[in-house]
Amino acid sequence: MTSMSMNMDYLALLPEIVLLTAAVLVLLGGSFLPRTRQVITRWLTLAALAASATAGLAALARAPETIFDGSYTIDASTTVVRMAAPLATLVVILIGRHEFTGSARESETYALLLLATLGTVIIGGTTDLLVLVAGYLLASIPLYALIGLSRSGPAAEATLKTYLIGALFGVLLMAGVTLLTGLAATSNYLNMSKSLGNAPVAALAGGAVALLIGLTFKAGAVPGHFWIPDASQASGVAVAAFLTTVPKIGALVALGRLVEIMPDTVDVPLLIAMLAVISMTVGNLAALAQNNVRRLLGWSTVSQVGYLLMPLAVITASDGAWLALLAYIGLYALTNLTLFAVVACFPHREELDDWAGMARTHPWLTGTLIVGALSLVGTPPTAVFIGKVAVFTVAWDGGMPWLVVVAAANTVLSLLYYLRLIRPAFRTPGFSPQHGSRGTPGVALTVSGTAVTLGFLVLAAGAVGAGIWLVFLA
Amino acid sequence: MLSIVIFLPLLVGAALAVMRGLPARAARLVWLATTLADLALLIVLTFTASTGAGGLRAEERVNWMPQLGSSYHLGVDGLSLPLLLLAGVIFVVCAIWSLRETDRPRPQAALFLFLQTTCLGLFAAQDLILFFLFFDLSIVGMYFVIAGWGHGNQRHSALVFFIYTFLGSLALLLGFIGLYLGATPHTFDMVELSRHGAFTGTPAAAGFVLAAIVIGLAVKTPTFPFHSWLPPAHTDAPTIGSVVLASLLLKMGTYGFVRIAMPMLPDAWRSWAWVIIAIGIVSVLYGALVALVQADIKRMIAFTSINHMGYVVLAVGAAGVLGRTTAEAQQLAIAGAATQMVSHGLITGALFLLAGVFYDRTGSYDLRQYGGLARPAPAFAGFFAIAAFASLGLPGFSGFIAEFQIFTGSIGTVPWTLIALPGILITAVLFLRAFQRVFTGETKQLSAGFADLHPRETTALAVLTVLSVLIGIVPGPLLAMIEPAAKVLVGSLTP
């Protein structure tokens, strides 16, 4: 581990450093700034996130490399995480305008979001098991606090649930890390695959399963998914948008890196394929029965992770698997944020029925809602359609056509509840004006504007953007 | 030029959708003007478009997603051009029919313009992803038409329609991915996939891919046993929604057979042709028999659609059966199938408009509640008689030309397809019976005080029936357009 050939290029970590510095500055600044000036931390956070994403993009000019003795890799996947995670957080802060601005813990919220984003980036970029553990903790602990921010009874319950599940899966992850590190005599991915090939199969299987299952907590896949619906329902809308989008980005890339190095003495691809099937099926079936909008969206993300796991199952068998995975991640994040942005315009419309009559009062937002929902179904020409085609193609190409058939059947199933999301908008509102069905007074133009802009992006992504995105990844 | 034809309706539709202050009357006129302009452009294109290297006319190709092997590729040939023209005509008719529409006319016009783009785009697409895009969007558009403007149990019918046809579209997508992976280099381009031997997979793989595509198309067509979404969708759809559904959306399925399934998987198609023939024959007989016992006029027409689409499926199946001297018969069968698509679009469109008049005047589709309607509504009775006779395949109408070719071609290759012939007889019986019950005898029940056709209704119906008669009497131009493409298709089926 102490070889002299270390590439100690601190500048290469600029995107991470920007996030960390901003988190510290926001936290310190927040404690000194007067209550009325807290908004400065908001601007600082937004600027830092944009800067981090830009710095991440700039790394594209350099050849792929590993730094710090191979513990961190800067390649196309890392670049995607470095851009997608901060940009997604940026959108979260934009749609959280009502939720965060002027709240009692404004600057702390931003600091937590920055740290959780940093954790996600590290999980995605690292190629060392020990750094992975650090990243896992860094990404998880701020989440617990974020969920509890709204300080309601259900939020406390969701926090506790998330914390317990996070701790359990964290322990599992660490057990896996310990086992694999012991078996391979190194924690570094690059040197690991060779030595793991000769390891005892039972121990290797145990370590691999523990490690991968541990990461499902962050990815929001079965079996680590239990916290998602609760947290998504009980926390604030913007926080829910964050926790159903950002942690996945890093975790899925990390899973990809790990599946790639597992020797074929253990059938890891089959394990991932089974997790994919179970995730999409469980997510879809559970979402069918939901009446709470955010809970429904929470379950929908569980099912979406199922599709996202499909390219992971064939990551060694199909050439385009990484491309498909990265494309789907970006397009999914965009779409999911769009739907949550619409929900953020009406934080008090909890149940599906509360959305009645929206088509008349808010046609643009209704349009955005339709585009977002159809995108998650995978209807062309919206964003996720391109992702779905890519994912289906590589899964078939990688020798798992049965997985594609299951996923297609699940897509039909998902149509049922995504349509339930749309339908109330066209109903004439009944007697329930309790939440002010004319829209919450003072829905800021920034929030609804963000939502509609994102909706357009989802639409454009399928037609034009996806082409650019694919070129960029290639 | 082709892109303009396709996207003009969408652009105008989008403009209508956002102009909330526009008076209803203006919206309806803009709609009509757009459909007329689009049809005019289409006719100009028919006469002026030049033929490209691959035999496609008005071809356009732009790089879109080269990593996925997909491009923005449009073009028309003898199989698609008649359907494009049909789509142009049908949407004009819908716009005319809705000139007095009072139920949210502006969003309705926007939605139908959107649907027009999806129909035109589908028939012109030369890339599977593009084809799928328009295929799925047509489902989305029709869902909103049924759910938003339907009657009866429309929400439920719309949902069933969406889910059922969406399931079909996913089967289709699986098939497309199979085609993509089966070709080297991987591509979604329909022209390249239609080249001989483009699909390099094993016969078993080809069989599965074909099965996925056939199921996807069979749901849309629909054929027995995938038809159960059609009757409720038709019954609860608004009149012009039914017209577009029957005249154009069903054609997407049959068009897919001749455009995708046959040329791209010729070997598998030949091996499984007898299954297709069997599905066709069952659809013909089943559709006719079930239509016979319907008392609801819309359900009756919906089931005759299954019958008529059965002829198309029968013909394309028979065209896959090779003999030593069958090339001519195969060609006839395919030309018949293409003619039947156009003919059914015109005639069934007219029938659904007539069914809409029933609902408009009395709110009932029940045939048993009418009698002696010819006295208060002679023009209505006249048009109904024309459409009914055309639909049962009387010489002088387009239906005869189509069915004559289909049977000559099919029996020429597979003699036992004779057993589908009673289908024609049964439809004749059912239409005559319905006509007799509703229009003759003494005026009773709901028939009393039934207002005859308005001028806009007469115009719309006249357009459709005149075109059907024209094709019936002078089929030459249409057949001349179809035949070269049918020849190419038969050529691709020959090993």
Model confidence pLDDT, tens digit, residues B386-401? 999 999 888 889 989 9
Q: Do A389 and B173 touch (CB under 8 A)?
A: yes
Average pLDDT across chain A, whole number = 87
CB B106 within 8 A of CB B24: yes
Place of tokens 């299952």: A213
> Which residues lie across from B76 on neighbouring strands?
B57
Least Cα separation, residue B288 to chain A (angstroms)? 31
Domain-embedded: residue B287: yes
C-alpha to C-alpha distance for A339 and A345, rounded to whole angstroms: 10
Q: Do A419 and B162 touch (CB under 8 A)?
A: yes
My answer on whether A276 and A168 are in the same domain is no
Q: How confident is the model at residue A449 (pLDDT cuts 50, 70, 90)?
A: confident
Q: Do B148 and A363 touch (CB under 8 A)?
A: no
CB B297 within 8 A of CB B367: yes
Domain-embedded: residue B159: no
DSSP states of A147-159 as a string? HHTT--HHHHHHH
Backbone angles phi, psi at A116, to 5 degrees: -65, -40
Amino acid at B192: E
CB A244 within 8 A of CB A294: no
Nearest chain B alpha carbon to A385: B133
Residue A471 contacts B, CB cutoff 8 Å: yes
Which residues of chain B make contact with A386, given a CB cutoff of 8 A? 65, 68
Q: Which of B470, B462, B351 is nearest to B92 (CA)?
A: B462
Backbone angles phi, psi at A238, to 5 degrees: -65, -40
Residue A360 contacts B, CB cutoff 8 Å: no
Q: Do B170 and A411 touch (CB under 8 A)?
A: yes
My answer on whether A241 and A337 are in the same domain is no
The distance of Cα A282 from the centroid of its chain, to the nearest Å, equals 18
* Neighbouring residues of B39: CB distance < 8 A, sequence distance ≥ 6: B85, B88, B89, B91, B92
Q: Give the 3-state secondary structure of residue B59.
A: strand
Least Cα separation, residue A309 to chain B (angstroms)? 18
Backbone angles phi, psi at A399, to 5 degrees: 90, 20
C-alpha to C-alpha distance for A200 and B247, rounded to whole angstroms: 65
Which residues of chain A make contact with B155, given a CB cutoff of 8 A? 423
Amino acid at B451: A
Domain-embedded: residue B97: no
Q: How confident is the model at residue A469 (pLDDT cuts 50, 70, 90)?
A: low
My answer on whether A182 and A233 are in the same domain is yes
* Neighbouring residues of B53: CB distance < 8 A, sequence distance ≥ 6: none
My answer on whether A156 and A104 are in the same domain is yes
My answer on whether A344 and A357 are in the same domain is yes
Domain containing B358: what range?
272-495
State the pLDDT at residue A472: 60
DSSP states of A59-77 as a string? GGGSPPEEETTTTEEESHH
Q: Do B64 and A397 touch (CB under 8 A)?
A: no
Model confidence pLDDT, tens digit, residues B236-252? 999 999 999 999 999 99
My answer on whether A258 and A399 are in the same domain is no
CB B206 within 8 A of CB B267: yes
Among candidate residues A237, A264, A291, the one where a domain is terminated: A264
My answer on whether A281 and A368 are in the same domain is yes
Model confidence pLDDT, tens digit, residues A367-424? 899 999 999 998 888 889 888 988 998 999 898 989 999 999 999 889 889 988 888 8
Q: How many domains is chain A partitioned into structurally?
A: 2
Residue A473 has pLDDT above 80, yes or no: no
Region A165-194: mean pLDDT is 91
Q: How many domains is chain B partitioned into structurally?
A: 1
Structure tokens, B59: 């071809």
* Neighbouring residues of B44: CB distance < 8 A, sequence distance ≥ 6: none
Domain containing A191: what range?
1-264
My answer on whether A396 and A326 are in the same domain is yes
**Predicted ipTM beyond 0.90:** no
C-alpha to C-alpha distance for B117 and B5, rounded to whole angstroms: 8
Q: What Rg do the C-alpha atoms of chain A give, in angstroms?
A: 21
DSSP 8-state code for residue B149: H
Q: Give the 3-state secondary structure of residue B227.
A: coil
C-alpha to C-alpha distance for B337 and A146, rounded to whole angstroms: 63
Region A227-255: mean pLDDT is 93
Q: Is residue B185 reached through a cis peptide bond, with omega within 30 degrees of 0 on the bond before it?
A: yes
Residue A379 contacts B, CB cutoff 8 Å: yes
My answer on whether A145 and A271 are in the same domain is no
Q: Which of B185, B217, B169, B207 is nearest to B70 (CA)?
A: B185
Backbone angles phi, psi at B263, to 5 degrees: -70, -25
* Neighbouring residues of B348: CB distance < 8 A, sequence distance ≥ 6: B246, B247, B301, B304, B305, B308, B391
Domain-embedded: residue B467: yes
Amino acid at B87: A
Place of tokens 């901060």: A86
Q: Are strands A72-74 and A65-67 parallel, antiparallel or unpaired?
A: antiparallel
Amino acid at B404: F
**Facing residue for B68 by CB, picked from A390, A397, A423:** A390
Q: For testing the chain A interface, which of B16, B137, B144, B173 should be mutated: the one with the most A CBs within 10 Å?
A: B173
Say how many CA atoms lie within 13 Å of A422 toward its Cβ.
Answer: 23
Which residues of chain B make contact with A392, given a CB cutoff of 8 A? 173-174, 177
C-alpha to C-alpha distance for B412 and B433, rounded to whole angstroms: 32
C-alpha to C-alpha distance for A289 and A286, rounded to whole angstroms: 6
Q: How confident is the model at residue A104 (pLDDT cuts 50, 70, 90)?
A: confident
Structure tokens, B99: 């000139």
- Which long-range contacts (C-beta less than 8 Å, at least 24 apart) are formed by A58-63? A58/A14, A59/A12, A59/A14, A59/A15, A62/A12
Query: pLDDT 10s per residue in chain B (495 long)?
Result: 889 999 999 999 999 888 888 888 888 999 999 999 999 999 999 888 888 777 788 888 888 877 778 888 999 998 999 999 999 999 999 999 988 888 888 889 999 999 999 999 999 999 999 999 999 999 999 999 999 898 888 888 998 999 899 999 999 999 999 999 888 888 899 988 888 777 888 888 889 999 999 999 999 988 888 888 999 999 899 999 999 999 999 999 999 999 999 999 988 998 898 999 999 999 999 999 999 998 899 999 999 999 999 999 999 998 888 766 678 888 888 999 999 999 999 999 999 999 999 888 888 888 888 888 888 888 999 999 999 999 988 888 998 999 999 998 888 888 888 888 888 999 999 999 999 888 888 877 777 778 888 888 999 999 999 999 999 999 989 999 998 888 888 888 887
Place of tokens 């109903």: A427
Residue A404 contacts B, CB cutoff 8 Å: yes
Q: Do A415 and B129 touch (CB under 8 A)?
A: no
C-alpha to C-alpha distance for B212 and B208, rounded to whole angstroms: 6
**Facing residue for A412 by CB, picked from B20, B167, B177:** B167
**Facing residue for A470 by CB, picked from B20, B67, B180:** B67
Residue A242 has pLDDT above 90, yes or no: yes
C-alpha to C-alpha distance for B19 and B23, rounded to whole angstroms: 9
CB B431 within 8 A of CB B391: yes
Helices (H) and strands (E) in chain A, counts: 20, 2
Least Cα separation, residue A409 to chain B (angstroms)? 8
Domain-embedded: residue B472: yes
Q: Do B181 and A396 touch (CB under 8 A)?
A: yes
C-alpha to C-alpha distance for A463 and A465, rounded to whole angstroms: 6
- Buried b / exposed e over A402-411, threshold 16 CB at 10 Å, is ebbbbbbbbb
Q: Do B129 and A323 touch (CB under 8 A)?
A: no
State the pLDDT at residue B139: 92
Q: How far apart are the first and last CA of chain A?
A: 33
Q: How far apart are the first and last CA of chain B?
A: 36
State the pLDDT at residue A431: 53
Q: Do B132 and A393 touch (CB under 8 A)?
A: no
Q: How confident is the model at residue A433 (pLDDT cuts 50, 70, 90)?
A: very low
My answer on whether A273 and A256 are in the same domain is no
C-alpha to C-alpha distance for B447 and B469, rounded to whole angstroms: 29
Tell me how crowded residue A167 is: count the other CB atoms within 10 A of its CB: 13
State the pLDDT at residue A435: 47
* Among the ranges given (A109-118, A250-259, A385-394), the one the predictor scored with the smallest mean pLDDT: A385-394
State the pLDDT at residue B11: 93
Q: Do B177 and A405 touch (CB under 8 A)?
A: no
My answer on whether A238 and A303 are in the same domain is no
Q: Do B68 and A389 touch (CB under 8 A)?
A: yes
Q: Do A392 and B177 touch (CB under 8 A)?
A: yes
C-alpha to C-alpha distance for A123 and A17, rounded to whole angstroms: 15
C-alpha to C-alpha distance for A435 and B166, rounded to whole angstroms: 35
State the pLDDT at residue A253: 95
Residue A468 contacts B, CB cutoff 8 Å: no
State the pLDDT at residue A438: 45
Amino acid at A195: S
Q: Which of B206, B176, B467 is nearest to B348 (CA)?
A: B467
State the pLDDT at residue A437: 43
Domain-embedded: residue B3: no
Q: How far is CA A420 from CA B153, B156, B159, B217, in A?
A: 17, 12, 10, 26
Structure tokens, B342: 């156009």
Among candidate residues A247, A264, A281, the one where a domain is terminated: A264
DSSP states of A207-222 as a string? HHHHHHHHHHHHHT-T
Amino acid at A429: P
Amino acid at B197: G
Residue A7 has pLDDT above 80, yes or no: no
Least Cα separation, residue A59 to chain B (angstroms)? 23
My answer on whether A257 and A396 are in the same domain is no
Element (H, E) at B281: helix B273-292
Among candidate residues A202, A233, A264, the one where a domain is terminated: A264
DSSP 8-state code for residue B441: S
Q: What Rg do the C-alpha atoms of chain B give, in angstroms?
A: 21
Residue A380 contacts B, CB cutoff 8 Å: yes
> Which residues lie across from B57 on neighbouring strands?
B51, B76
State the pLDDT at residue B33: 94
Least Cα separation, residue A323 to chain B (angstroms)? 10
